[in-house]
A and B are shown apart, each in its own frame.
Chain A
Amino acid sequence: MHMNRILVIDDEQAVREAIARRLQREEHEVVIAATEADGIAHLRESDPAFDVVLTDMLMETPASGVNVLRAALMRDVFTEVVVLTAYGSVKNAVECMKLGAFDYVEKNIPEVDVLELLCLKVQQAIERRAAALVTVRKLERAKEFA
């Protein structure tokens, strides 16, 4: 059974460690990066591509999250990206969804265990990725018939 590979990018150590530990409990393979540049390097060099990417929206620049999203999709369109924000901005979230993100999650939601929420999102992303791959294979086989 192939282990899902997840890339976690956040400039805050406490956040990286908390997410990595929780995802590892689900037996995912987790790679962490502390900067936008580091994260994008990982995306390019990784073979095979990551299944899911969790990235902070705001790091060195306000566009860091969007840059990571673009780089991830350019590397492999089947990679699912979940964007993390510190303080909800609907505008940013809509922009990310339009660019192809799977979802966005606020890091501080009172009385909500965001880590559990992230696990759920990762699981949903993996399932969607798998379903997308199935669809593509069907398409390829259909072409053979044509």
Chain B
Amino acid sequence: MHPTPALPEVEFPSETTSPSMVECEEFLHSVLDEALTTVNAARGFIALVDTDRGELEVRFTAGPDWTEETRRFRLTIRDFDPDDATQRRGITRLVVATGAPYWTGDVAGDPHYLRFFDDTTSELAVAIQETRSRRVLGVLNVESPRADAFTSRHCEALQRLAQRAAIAFTMVEHQAREEALIAVGQELGATASVSQVMQTIVAHARRILRAEDCSIFRTREDGESLTLTASHGWLTGQVGKKQYRMGEGLTGWIAEHAEAIRVTDPRSDPRWKGVLTEFPPDEISAFMGVPIFGRDGLLGVLRVVRRRKGLLAYIPQEFTDADEEILKTIASQLGVALDKAELVGKLLNAERMAAWGELSARSAHMLGNALFGVKGEVNELRHQLAEAPAPIQELLMAVDRGLGRVEHILEEFRDFVRATQLTLEEADCNQLVSEAVNETFPKRGPLKLELSLAEGLPPIAADAHKLKRGFSELVENSVDFQPEGGSIRVTTELIDTAELNNLVIAARARRYVRIVFEDRGPGLSDDDRRMVFTPFFTRKAKGMGLGLSIVKGIIDAHRGLIRETGVPGNGARFEILLPAKEEGCT
């Protein structure tokens, strides 16, 4: 017996220290060539796993007789059961499925062999596997026309080569992920629209993490629930419609605890609810979700899922620590982008408001002058028609009334524009509330008044005159809507923004003074509540309805918040938040 010649050591090319995909491909080619030389094989190929399609794709070939047809051959590996001996599915597939190498000296007698070439007698295939996760990336396959051409030593040599190929491949994947993360960052930097941001994230997260689906949930303003705001596949039709309550299901848990969850087979987790799933629950093989944080706290949850891919034992489905880090990175980018989109929106709004304010002021001025002119003409007309018959006089009076209406509208319009021009001074909220109530609450009548003003409230920065006007408007409304009797309750208290922690408002101050006006009138319907602060919306019989939009303008200009939170049919409840002045601040 000849002593088996020492197998040559394979050089580890320096190229792989920083491979790009092209360099990696060159490297894999050279690996294949080395493989043929090392084990004295006539022909070989490297096939790589395409997890998206569950197929093996022949990527590199060496040796004679390869044709276009054979090169393009793709082997499906989904649903392949390595223990089923009746299946003749090829040595390559067997190796992918088990991760173990396989060789035969006589393909004709081998139960697994599938014919590719006529002159093949021996075949050896090893898996290209990630070292740590054991994930099978592909197969390195060689063949020879000689019988019994391969031994375990050839197998070991090929495995060493396969290991290097795996390292190169993994490094390329990592680099691709890095580049993808950078690309995500850049794209997000350029995008202003919130919906575009979320679509970008969903697309990238899926690719980077090799997940079948990705969904984004946003916390609602009330902080009590999360709404689906973006997804890729099955759930896309449910965007905007479906919600989790805080704490409900895995997603709700993530939001409530502000911590990530990573599980395989989510149904086995006691927190699982199955409220909303990207795939039928038994098809989800891995679930990972992370919280999304913005400047002001929790914005929502970002989650990805993997779908079960048949019986491929060596394609591990679970998400790794590295995967979780990546998803957290993406989530933080998402948080920044959402904050930015909101800021940009606010800036645009502020600019629009400023521009609008200017436009309004100018328009009001021009309207006023034009009206003056018209009234002058009518004045002259009345003078000329002093002897005209009654119908003409009546027409003139009608014109007067019409012009009067226009002037009323103009006046309220000017009030609205001026509402945001404040002169701020330090003020005592309770004092303003008391004065406003005293000035507007009817001294006699069927209405009851309840005043509950907290003691020791810090001062607020306010335009006293305008703020009182806002309070008065609310009291007057309550009076108007309770003609038969009822009550008005006004309370003030100091609150910490920690109590508002799930409210997605930009908390500009640490503490707020909360003023609540509530009554026992008819209250507001859900439709009313949405419209109540818009100009010219009113349910009162008289007036232009500009009142509450002016009140909101005043509160907004004070950098506060106003909302209506009553129960329809059970009275109106207006809640105002005004930032408290902190000591040492101007």
Chain A residues within CB distance 8 Å of chain B: 12, 14-15, 17-19, 21-22, 25, 86-87, 107-111, 113-116
Chain A: minimal CB distance from B366 (Å): 9
B376 touches A107 (CB 8 A): no
Contacts A18-B375, A21-B376, A87-B364 given; indicate if A110 touches B369 (C-beta within 8 A): no
Q: Which residues of B contact A21 (CB under 8 A)?
A: 376, 380
Q: Which residues of B contact A19 (CB under 8 A)?
A: 376
Give CA–CA (A15, B376) in the complex, Å. Answer: 8
Count of chain A to chain B residue pairs whose CB atoms are closer than 8 Å in the complex: 61
Q: Which residues of A contact B375 (CB under 8 A)?
A: 18, 113-115
- Residues of B in contact (CB 8 Å), total 22
Q: Which residues of A contact B379 (CB under 8 A)?
A: 18, 22, 113, 115-116
Q: Which residues of B contact A111 (CB under 8 A)?
A: 400, 404, 407-408
A18 touches B373 (CB 8 A): yes
B376: nearest chain-A partner, CB-CB: A18
Q: Choose one: A86, A109, A110, A115; the contact of B376 (CB below 8 Å).
A: A115
Chain A: interface secondary structure? Answer: helix
Contacts A108-B411, A109-B407, A110-B404 given; indicate if A12 touches B369 (C-beta within 8 A): yes
Q: Which residues of A contact B75 (CB under 8 A)?
A: none
Q: Choose one: B373, B376, B414; the contact of A87 (CB below 8 Å).
A: B414
**Is B73 on the interface with A (CB-CB < 8 A)?**
no
Give CA–CA (A12, B408) in the complex, Å. Answer: 21
B365 touches A18 (CB 8 A): no
A86 touches B377 (CB 8 A): no
Interface residues of B in 30-69 (CB under 8 A from A): none
Interface residues of B in 264-291 (CB under 8 A from A): none
A113: nearest chain-B partner, CB-CB: B379
A84: nearest chain-B partner, CB-CB: B372
**Is B167 on the interface with A (CB-CB < 8 A)?**
no
Q: List 10 A-B contacts (CB under 8 A).
A: A22-B380, A25-B383, A107-B372, A108-B368, A108-B410, A109-B407, A110-B407, A110-B411, A111-B404, A116-B379
Interface residues of B in 367-406 (CB under 8 A from A): 368-373, 375-377, 379-380, 383, 400, 404
Q: Which residues of B contact A25 (CB under 8 A)?
A: 383
A12: nearest chain-B partner, CB-CB: B369
Q: Which residues of A contact B400 (CB under 8 A)?
A: 111
Q: Which residues of B contact A18 (CB under 8 A)?
A: 372-373, 375-377, 379
Contacts A108-B411, A111-B404, A114-B375 given; indicate if A15 touches B369 (C-beta within 8 A): yes
What 3 A-B pairs are tightest by C-beta distance, nearest first? Answer: A18-B376, A14-B373, A110-B407
B376 touches A14 (CB 8 A): yes
A115: nearest chain-B partner, CB-CB: B379
Q: Which residues of B contact A108 (CB under 8 A)?
A: 368, 371-372, 407, 410-411
Give CA–CA (A22, B383) in the complex, Å. Answer: 10
B368 touches A87 (CB 8 A): yes
Q: CB-CB contacts of B416-431 with A at 8 A, as 1s and 0s?
A: 0010000000000000
Chain B: minimal CB distance from A72 (Å): 22
Q: Which residues of A contact B371 (CB under 8 A)?
A: 108
Contacts A87-B414, A110-B408 given; indicate if A14 touches B372 (C-beta within 8 A): yes
B369 touches A86 (CB 8 A): yes
Chain B: minimal CB distance from A60 (Å): 14
Chain A: minimal CB distance from B401 (Å): 8
